[in-house]
Chains A and B, each alone.
Chain A
Amino acid sequence: MIQYEKFTLDNGLRVLVHQDESTPMAVVNVIYDVGARDESPDKTGFAHLFEHLMFGGSINIPLYDEPLQVAGGENNAFTTNDITNYYCQLPAENIETAFWLESDRMLNLAFDKKSLEVQRKVVCEEFKEHYINKPYGDVWHKMRELAYSKHPYRWMTIGKELKHVEDATLQDVKDFFQKHYTPINAILVVAGNVTTADIKILAEKWFGPIPPGTKYDRNLPVEPVQTAPRSVEIKSNVPIDALYKSWHICSRLDERYYVTDLITEILSGGGSSRLFQALVKEKQLFSNIECSHSGSTDAGLLTIEGKLVKGVAMKDAEAAIMSEIDTLLQNGITEKELQKVKNKTESMLAFEDMSVMSRATNLAMYELLGDAELINTELSKYQAVTTAELLKESKAIFNDNNCNTLYYYSNN
């Protein structure tokens, strides 16, 4: 059970405090309700580029990192298609430094021209390192375009193309900031060796005076139900053929989310999972195979991906995956198998909770989803899943008309 207290400042900033006296440290986590899905299709990659610019100096403080490091702290940030999250960890006695820094960059940025120029280049190098200069690096770019026709999950967080990042202007940066980086669109979580009374004082002092901003109401195009299978073939300079199949699944807040998560565990979570045992060990058609889901806020994808053993034909590999899925749909799963994936989930959640940082980030994420209390109710939702529900949801997901296939062929 993770204890926390919650209060809201007059400007709408929600604050959560989680006390843990066993650590000398404190974590300050600020989440903004904006991600790559909020970008316009001709300016993709912007939410992430913006995350870089948040370190380029704020209105009253020229440098973000240095004062934090002087206070013995460390920080980082990440952007997804749904959210942007900033976190720092420092000795609890120096926590006010984090309030000073985080509140100033929520108040206003310096909008430094050089910072924009440099970070555009840095992000382009990040783009190259992870998505261009790497075998199979373009897979998710292609799969998103195939599976989504309307919803902005069509593009990756890093952006659709380098050019969008290169073309970003200072005016774009300012507009984005005004729209999204305001107290009303943010959540602050403080965790570690702190008390709620002290955090209230600090939050009022540093964040209280910031104007609330306007609540951003998201009105994203809904992805229409897919009605026919889709596929695309890629030929590329990679050593081995690979196969990727993605099916649309429910959104994060849907009750079926927990069933879906367990389906991926049944299929590929570990050495005793179905796909690994059947296709890597017994039939030896794949050298590796994974099943995962995107975990996104809006309706996401469940993906099975694997690299084919040299000499195996693509159609045989695909048929073998489908045959495993058929077995699942015909016979369902046993109580023992279900218990196994529930046990795995239980221990995974326990390990996750060991770090203060992870507790802080999860509290922020759940609060943004609608209710921080989800952090304490997740496990019981997993435990309530039945074999019948699992079978029913598998049938809904693994429908041919719901499937997107990417055949990735080696040129060699």
Chain B
Amino acid sequence: MPKVENYMLNRTKAPHIKDAIEFNLHLKPYEKFVLDNGVEVYAINAGAQDVLQMEMVFYAGNSFEKSNAVAAATNYMLKNGTSSKTAFEINEHFEYHGAYCNRSCQNETASISLHTLSKHLSVLLPVIKEMITDSVFLEEELAIYKQNSKQKLSVSLQKCDFVANRLIDAYLFGEQHPYGKYIVAEDFDALTTGQLKHHFQQYYLNGHCVIFVAGKLPANLFETVNKQFGKLAIKPGKPQIINNATPAEIKKYRVANDPNGVQGAIRIARPFPNRLHPDFIKMMVLNTLFGGYFGSRLMDNIREDKGYTYGIHSYVQSHFQDTALLISTEAGKDVAEATVEEIYKEMKVLREELVDEEELLLVRNYLIGNILGDLDGPFHIIGRWKNIILNNLDEKYFYDSVNMIKTIPAEELKELANKYLQPEDFYELVVI
């Protein structure tokens, strides 16, 4: 640690630092239990507060639905009534114990998660069990869901960013692909309780499931979880999912959404392979440099030099299957086209010029510091593991990523830029 130096303070000179790339990052290993029915439970026992989170991940996402909006509606309505409890009673039970039970639906998976003080776990799990085995999907509840979802959608459709996000995915993957399809009001109208019950039967009651738990875990965690879920018909593993993208042929789009709009939502995107491809972790570094953090080239040029936007970001979408690299910003209406041009200019610089060592070291240090900060606490650690496990990877992926951040040379980043940052490969959209 620092010592007082006995000369005049020189404020122009940065204090000595340990380069973050010298840090050894360690991903705390999980404990794994297998329930009587084979379902796997991954656990991280850590933390000072007496709290825990549990997530049951089902392969019940959009990819498995027979028609639009079914997966999300089924997932949402898990909390809206069982044969012995009304929606109100379910909510009251969790809330009385100060717990939060949430649902979420993604493309492949759909989850139920619980955040609670550890002491209440055993009175809460039986209700979760009821929700995943005995949900009744009442007509009245579905009618309310349909009406309120349509209202929410009508508000969202006025926002240029919401519209742009839907359209760019549709161009990239096609409207038939789970990553590219989107919900319209008529999809809500067409929902029936029969569809929901069917989806529930197949993908929850008899579905594939994996469980993640983290926090200050009770000593009898395994017995408690096994008692509730070990005899159910849920099973381990995952169903096979193959979807072929049908990307749009036209690459450039300008959409007028709101006549009074004062900003344009810009989305520029291209297909990109998933985590299993060797370029994926390399792109993590190139993307950070390009538009992945506050000091990125895009931010520096388009926000900090030109003031065209409040923020601009690039990122690789988090999908299990083939995915996309995307640049996203909302810029002033008058400067939207200039912003698009600047984005391509920054791609060109990355293709043609080697990044200098100073900037590259900064990006390496930033990324390592970021991972170090993100390994703080049990919830973050289980989040990393969940990502690794659901993507069929192992801890090697984590250590390979760290190693790649520390060592990838500038030449390789330039090659990567030449491979992936070619304007003609990108879809380009501005929604005002």
Contacts and interface: CB of A to CB of B under 8 A. Distances in A.
A336 B370 CA distance: 44
Interface in A105-140: 107, 117-126, 128-129, 132-136
Contact of A97 (B14, B48, B97, B115): B14
Interface string B410-425: 0000000000000000
Contacts of A206: 9
A122 B310 contact: yes
Contacts of A195: 1
Contact of A271 (B2, B87, B154, B362): B87
Contacts of B376: 23-25, 355-356
Contact of B160 (A133, A237, A288): A133
A205 interface: yes
Nearest to A352: B49
B51 A125 contact: no
B372 A91 contact: yes
B126 interface: no
B47 interface: yes
Nearest to B366: A69
Nearest to B151: A287
Given A71-B20, A118-B306, A104 B11 contact: yes
A121 B307 contact: yes
A99 B375 CA distance: 24
B117 A350 contact: yes
Interface in A43-94: 59-61, 65-67, 69-74, 89-91, 93-94
Contacts of A343: 95-98
Nearest to A63: B295
Contact of A287 (B116, B152, B330): B152
B383 interface: no
A94 B18 contact: yes
A133 B332 CA distance: 10
Which of B2, B79, B368 lies at the interface centre, i.e. has the most chain A CB atoms within 10 A of its CB?
B2
B50 interface: yes
Interface in B250-273: 258, 260-263
Nearest to B160: A133
A350 B50 contact: yes
B164 to A, nearest CB: 12
A97 B155 contact: no
A271 B152 contact: no
Interface string B351-390: 0000000000111011011101101110100000000000
B155 A240 contact: yes
Nearest to B377: A354
Interface residues of A, number: 86
Contacts of B331: 125
Contacts of A287: 147-148, 151-152
A400 to B, nearest CB: 29
Contact of B117 (A117, A134, A346): A346
Interface stretch (A181-189, A215-223, A277-285, A316-324): A277-285
A354 B379 contact: yes
A23 B1 CA distance: 16
Nearest to A122: B307
Contacts of B11: 59-61, 100, 103-104, 107
B414 to A, nearest CB: 21
Given A198-B2, A280-B144, A128 B91 contact: no
A355 B95 contact: no
Interface string B105-143: 000000000011100000000000000000000000000
B47 A100 contact: no
B411 to A, nearest CB: 22
B36 interface: no
Interface string B134-176: 0000000000100110011011011110000000000000000
Contacts of B294: 65, 69, 74
A277 B88 CA distance: 7
A212 B314 CA distance: 43
Given A284-B147, A355-B377, A339 B310 contact: no
Given A119-B307, A133-B160, A71 B365 contact: yes
B278 interface: no
Return the 3 tightest CB-CB contacts between A and B, nearest first: A72-B369, A121-B307, A72-B20
Interface of A: 22-25, 59-61, 65-67, 69-74, 89-91, 93-94, 96-97, 99-100, 103-104, 107, 117-126, 128-129, 132-136, 195, 198, 201-202, 204-206, 209, 237-240, 269-273, 277, 280-281, 284, 287-288, 307, 309-310, 336, 339-340, 343-348, 350-351, 353-356
Given A91-B18, A100-B15, A238-B158, 6 more contacts: A24-B375, A61-B11, A70-B365, A336-B96, A343-B96, A347-B116
